[in-house]
């Protein structure tokens, strides 16, 4: 392979001294304070949750193959969609990109040898593990059937394992806050001397914006879920109208967190996109500042839009109108990003590799998902669509089409960075085609289901919806097949894949200016970030 | 944009249910505009991306590229233009939303009680129905709704309206059905295990049918009415609905059965027999019972007697399970 002309010190060739090879004992992993290793631990833990949540999703889709019972009872179905939501949201999507790739990449992108609080970083992992274990354990305590939204008063009366589940989520929230605090401190205090904010790689900006949301929003969720748990366990009745409580108040508190949480999930993926495009188009971003400002804009305006989840919940029409306008503004920030990304390709030198393919899937799916977001923010239309499959399709286009394709783009893009090995490009393209095509076939019919008036969380499908459900289920099988391929060829690549060299993509982003995999202390010798992370105006020389 | 009505093929292509009200036609107009913009925007992004991929594909490794930077003015202009489009959506959507959320004055009122897992509709004339909401075509109906347990959501897709029904609160929704027909009602807020069975229908009646229904001519309603009449006139003090023997014969499994009479004859308990027994009880006394029933001639209107017959007809295959055991009544 080739090594770019970037200043990689000669001592930084991949070697036994890499962070992977330095120590190999169990203890060296379990008690590591190396941000790279913690990132990998988070990667495996969150991927395990993805697998679990994915299995529930597949079972839900199979249940919809026929009207009436197919493979499970009504009670089981209610638990399945609840666990699918809880696991995918809190145990996979929120921690996955920030805690796994953010941990690994951010310090490299700012020229740091560590995160600001390495031990807090490790603690965050174990706290996550504890919370996740409690959530999974609640499965065996009789499960939980409230939906991931825990709407009261249903959740305070149902004879399900509400208390253990919300306790688990509460604990996972600590992990989220710990990681957020750590990244904010790291970006503020650990940047290479002279590395100004407006030269930071865009992925770091995205993680920074995400961290702000995490530390500001998560406490509100913790508070709301605590009260739900107490209502359920001790009959406190704070949200129970029978005791003078207000169930709609819970919805306000819940969405005050859970709407920004959507941006916790999607901003890191946007950061990946912002970094993958310049690398594979060998091109500076069309507008670096537009991406930075829209990231921060999303992080702040995202806090003011929660009410658009409640247009039919009985809020005042004035409030509803205000939330509608603010939701339109958030959409503009995302639209500016899409414009900027597409324009970045202009006059580039585009190599169509797997990470970029995922980014193109992201363009298409995220734009459609985002535009349907504008549609559901249009209030009279939302009255029809609210709580139907239209909304299910809309947020899966954002969460899967956006966040998850961003996650896969990151995985393929940084695989050689983390392991020094290259995956098989042919298999990865096959998997990409299956994942993207399967996704479209799975979720496009759900827009029509919603238009037709199929409510979500329905075990039994009114017969008029059956054919669309069958198409959706068959699509999910293609998606699953693609997903199964990824770990197979990635595992093969890790053990047998060809050596990638330090910078197989010829990227100028800062994290590639050291060996791949990086040494334990990230950089050997002096770190030189004098050439900009997105400066492709000078040719690179080949160094065979 | 909002005033336009969609042609039938467009409604079909979007998978929308038939439009049941004037408001739903307006909403669908906006729907089509917004979804068209969604498709146009997405495919524009797709097409431009595809064009760039081909046009600017990599020809040599490690080539350099010119630095292209957005002009700030153009960025602002693009953002502002798009925001303007979104705000048009918002403005039209908001005005429609205000119409949905603001019930008209002088509308007929139906009280709706949601509970796990049924809808109960109570009308201003004292009738009530379960799961089927009867409304007249061409008249505005205001639903005043509350829940007895958890949050439910009244959703009538053909009317494009939905409203969460919240315990402890009374919330409004209104319908103006244009044509007679039957349209589904679904619960749209997850409410527990039988959530997907919490279905109902809006039955829109023509003015003539509506007038008939209001007089209680509807069989389904007659049964409920019959229960009411039976309770008010003391019938249930002696007759049970659940098959237990009491002062008089039970009404369970009575209809069209052969009844042995005290004088040795037997008759089939049809409409005629039942009505006669109300008006002239001692004409045909059932074997094994005392002749203690008073005449209801002049007390029951024909309509009320009919309602009782309908109630008894509905118990043809047995009534509800006994709730309490009644004391034994001695026969002569």
Whether A341 maps to a domain, the answer reads yes
**Spatial separation of the C-alpha atoms in residues A146 and A138, rounded to whole Å:** 13
Q: Which residues of A touch B103 (CB under 8 A)?
A: none
Q: Which residues of A touch B37 (CB under 8 A)?
A: 371
- Model pLDDT, residue B74: 83
CB–CB of B64 and A537 under 8 A?
A: yes
Q: Which residues of A touch B87 (CB under 8 A)?
A: 325, 328
Mutation target for B interface from A66, A305, A384, A458: give the one with most B CBs within 10 A.
A384
Of B35, B188, B196, the CB nearest to A386: B188
CB–CB of A457 and B184 under 8 A?
A: no
CB–CB of B52 and A360 under 8 A?
A: no
Q: Assess contact for A384 and B160: CB atoms under 8 A.
A: yes
Q: Which residues of A touch B169 (CB under 8 A)?
A: 241, 314
Q: Which residues of A touch B158 (CB under 8 A)?
A: 453
CB–CB of B27 and A345 under 8 A?
A: no
In sequence order, what are the residues at sequence separation of 6 or more whose Cβ sits closer than 8 angstroms to the Cβ of residue A500? A1, A416, A419, A420, A421, A422, A516
CB–CB of B15 and A332 under 8 A?
A: no
Q: Average pLDDT over chain A, rounded to whole?
A: 92
Whether A482 maps to a domain, the answer reads yes
Q: Assess contact for A370 and A331: CB atoms under 8 A.
A: yes
Binning pLDDT at 50, 70 and 90, where does residue B125 land? confident
Whether A17 maps to a domain, the answer reads no
pLDDT tens-digit series, residues A442-496: 999 999 999 999 999 999 888 889 999 999 999 999 999 999 999 999 999 999 9
Q: Assess contact for B292 and B249: CB atoms under 8 A.
A: no
Binning pLDDT at 50, 70 and 90, where does residue B329 land? low
Q: Which residues of A touch B51 (CB under 8 A)?
A: none
Of A151, A154, A379, the CB nearest to B93: A379
Q: Which residues of B touch A85 (CB under 8 A)?
A: none
Whether A469 maps to a domain, the answer reads yes
Report the CATH number at residue A416. 1.20.210.10
CB–CB of B189 and A335 under 8 A?
A: no
Whether A528 maps to a domain, the answer reads no
In chain A, the number of structural domains is 1
Whether A159 maps to a domain, the answer reads yes
- Model pLDDT, residue B323: 65
Whether A20 maps to a domain, the answer reads no
- Model pLDDT, residue B94: 96
pLDDT tens-digit series, residues A123-168: 999 999 999 999 999 877 878 999 999 999 999 888 888 999 999 9
- Model pLDDT, residue A542: 46
Of A158, A248, A378, the CB nearest to B89: A378
**Spatial separation of the C-alpha atoms in residues B75 and A337, rounded to whole Å:** 10
Composition of chain B by helix, strand, coil, percent to 5: 40, 20, 40
Whether A13 maps to a domain, the answer reads no
- Model pLDDT, residue A331: 92
Of B42, B157, B168, the CB nearest to A364: B42
**Whose structure tokens read 């702040």?**
A300
Q: Give the predicted TM-score (pTM) of the model.
A: 0.84
Position A544 pLDDT exceeds 50: no
**Spatial separation of the C-alpha atoms in residues B252 and B240, rounded to whole Å:** 7
CB–CB of B65 and A329 under 8 A?
A: no
Binning pLDDT at 50, 70 and 90, where does residue A1 land? very low
The CA-atom distances, in angstroms, between B28 and each of B2, B11, B37, B90 are 8, 8, 14, 15
Residue B256: alpha-carbon gap to chain centroid: 33
Position B19 pLDDT exceeds 70: yes
Task: Dump strand ranges (E) for A313-437.
Answer: none
- 3-state secondary structure string, A449-465? HHHHCCECCCCCCCHHH
CB–CB of A350 and B52 under 8 A?
A: yes
Share of residues in chain B with pLDDT > 90 (%):
45
Binning pLDDT at 50, 70 and 90, where does residue B290 land? confident
Q: For residue A320, what are the domain limits?
A: 36-512
Q: Which residues of B touch A2 (CB under 8 A)?
A: 61-62
Q: Assess contact for A95 and A101: CB atoms under 8 A.
A: no
pLDDT tens-digit series, residues A271-330: 999 999 999 999 999 999 999 999 999 999 999 999 999 999 988 999 999 999 999 999
Average pLDDT over residues A88-111: 96
**SS3 state at A439:** helix
Binning pLDDT at 50, 70 and 90, where does residue B177 land? very high
Q: Which residues of A188-223 are buried (b: 16+ CB within 10 A; e: fewer)?
A: eebbeeebeeebbbbbbbbbbbbbbbbbbbbebbbe
What distance in Å separates residue A486's CA from the closest CA in chain B?
A: 25
ipTM for the predicted complex comes to 0.91
CB–CB of B62 and A541 under 8 A?
A: yes
Mutation target for B interface from A77, A455, A506: give the one with most B CBs within 10 A.
A455
Composition of chain A by helix, strand, coil, percent to 5: 70, 0, 30
């Amino acid at each position: 392979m080739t090594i770019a002309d970037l200043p990689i010190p000669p001592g930084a060739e991949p070697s036994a001294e890499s962070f992977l090879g330095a120590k190999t004992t169990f203890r060296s992993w379990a008690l590591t304070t190396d941000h790279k290793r913690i990132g990998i631990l988070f990667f495996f833990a969150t991927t395990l949750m993805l697998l679990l949540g994915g299995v529930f999703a597949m079972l839900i889709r199979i249940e919809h193959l026929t009207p009436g019972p197919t493979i499970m009872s009504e009670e089981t179905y209610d638990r399945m969609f609840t666990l699918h939501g809880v696991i995918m949201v809190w145990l996979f999507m929120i921690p996955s990109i920030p805690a796994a790739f953010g941990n690994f990449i951010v310090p490299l992108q700012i020229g740091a040898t560590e995160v600001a609080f390495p031990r807090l970083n490790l603690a965050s992992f174990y706290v996550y593990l504890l919370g996740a274990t409690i959530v999974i354990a609640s499965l065996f305590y009789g499960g939980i059937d409230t939906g991931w939204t825990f709407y009261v008063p249903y959740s305070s009366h149902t004879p399900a394992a509400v208390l253990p589940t919300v306790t688990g989520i509460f604990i996972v929230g600590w992990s989220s806050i710990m990681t957020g605090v750590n990244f904010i401190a790291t970006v503020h205090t650990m940047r290479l001397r002279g590395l100004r904010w407006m030269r930071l790689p865009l992925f770091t900006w995205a993680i920074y914006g995400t961290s702000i949301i995490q530390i500001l929003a998560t406490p509100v969720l913790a508070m709301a879920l605590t009260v739900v748990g107490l209502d359920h366990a001790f009959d406190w009745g704070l949200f129970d109208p029978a005791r003078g409580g207000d169930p709609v108040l819970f919805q306000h508190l819940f969405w005050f967190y859970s709407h920004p949480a959507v941006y916790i999930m999607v901003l890191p993926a946007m950061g990946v996109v912002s970094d993958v495009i310049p690398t594979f188009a060998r091109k500076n971003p069309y507008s670096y500042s537009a991406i930075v400002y829209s990231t921060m804009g999303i992080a702040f305006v995202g806090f003011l839009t929660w009410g658009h989840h409640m247009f039919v919940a009985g809020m005042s029409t004035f409030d509803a109108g205000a939330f509608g306008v603010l939701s339109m503004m958030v959409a503009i920030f995302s639209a500016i990003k899409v414009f900027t990304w597409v324009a970045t390709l202009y006059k580039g030198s585009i190599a169509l590799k797997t990470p970029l393919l995922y980014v193109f899937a992201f363009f298409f799916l995220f734009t459609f998902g985002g535009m349907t977001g504008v549609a559901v923010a249009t209030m009279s239309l939302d009255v029809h669509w609210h709580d139907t499959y239209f909304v299910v399709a809309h947020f899966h286009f954002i969460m899967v089409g956006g966040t998850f394709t961003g996650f896969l783009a990151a995985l393929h893009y940084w695989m050689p960075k983390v392991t020094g090995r290259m995956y098989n490009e042919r298999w990865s393209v096959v998997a990409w085609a299956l994942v993207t095509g399967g996704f479209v076939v799975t979720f496009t019919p759900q827009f029509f289901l919603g238009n037709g008036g199929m409510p979500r969380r329905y075990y039994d499908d009114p017969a008029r919806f059956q054919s669309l459900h069958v198409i959706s289920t068959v699509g999910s099988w293609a998606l699953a097949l693609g997903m199964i391929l990824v770990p197979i060829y990635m595992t093969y690549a890790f053990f047998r894949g060809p050596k990638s060299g330090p910078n197989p993509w010829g990227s100028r982003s800062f994290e590639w200016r050291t060996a791949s995999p990086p040494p334990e202390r990230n950089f050997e010798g002096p770190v030189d970030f004098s050439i900009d992370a997105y400066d492709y105006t000078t040719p690179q020389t080949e160094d065979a | 944009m909002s005033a336009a009505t969609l042609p039938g093929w467009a409604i079909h292509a979007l998978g929308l249910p038939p439009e049941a009200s004037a408001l739903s036609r307006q909403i669908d107009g906006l729907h089509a505009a917004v979804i068209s913009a969604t498709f146009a925007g997405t495919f524009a992004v797709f097409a431009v991306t595809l064009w760039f991929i081909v046009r600017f594909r990599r020809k040599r490794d490690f080539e350099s590229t010119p630095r292209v930077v957005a002009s700030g003015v153009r960025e602002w202009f693009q953002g502002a233009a798009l925001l303007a489009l979104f705000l048009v959506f918002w403005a039209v959507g908001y005005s429609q939303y205000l119409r949905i959320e603001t019930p008209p004055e002088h509308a007929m009122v139906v009280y709706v009680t949601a509970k796990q897992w049924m809808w109960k509709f109570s009308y201003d004339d004292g009738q009530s129905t379960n799961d089927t909401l009867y409304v007249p075509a061409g008249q505005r109906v205001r639903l005043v709704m509350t829940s007895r347990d958890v949050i439910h959501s009244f959703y009538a897709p053909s009317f494009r309206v939905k409203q969460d029904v919240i315990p402890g609160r009374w919330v409004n929704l209104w319908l103006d059905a244009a044509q007679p027909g039957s349209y589904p009602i679904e619960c749209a807020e997850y409410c527990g295990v039988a959530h997907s069975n919490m279905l109902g229908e809006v039955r829109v009646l023509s003015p003539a049918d509506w007038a008939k229904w209001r007089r209680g001519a509807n069989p389904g309603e007659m049964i409920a009415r019959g229960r009411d009449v039976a309770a008010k006139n003391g019938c249930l003090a002696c007759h049970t609905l659940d098959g237990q023997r009491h002062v008089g014969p039970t009404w369970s499994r009575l209809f069209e059965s052969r009844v042995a009479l005290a004088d040795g004859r037997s008759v089939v308990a049809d409409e005629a027999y039942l009505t006669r027994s109300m008006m002239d009880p001692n004409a045909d006394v059932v074997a094994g019972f005392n002749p203690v029933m008073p005449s209801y001639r002049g007390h029951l209107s024909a309509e009320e007697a009919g309602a009782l017959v309908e109630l008894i007809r509905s118990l043809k295959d047995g009534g509800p399970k006994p709730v309490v055991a009644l004391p034994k009544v001695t026969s002569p």
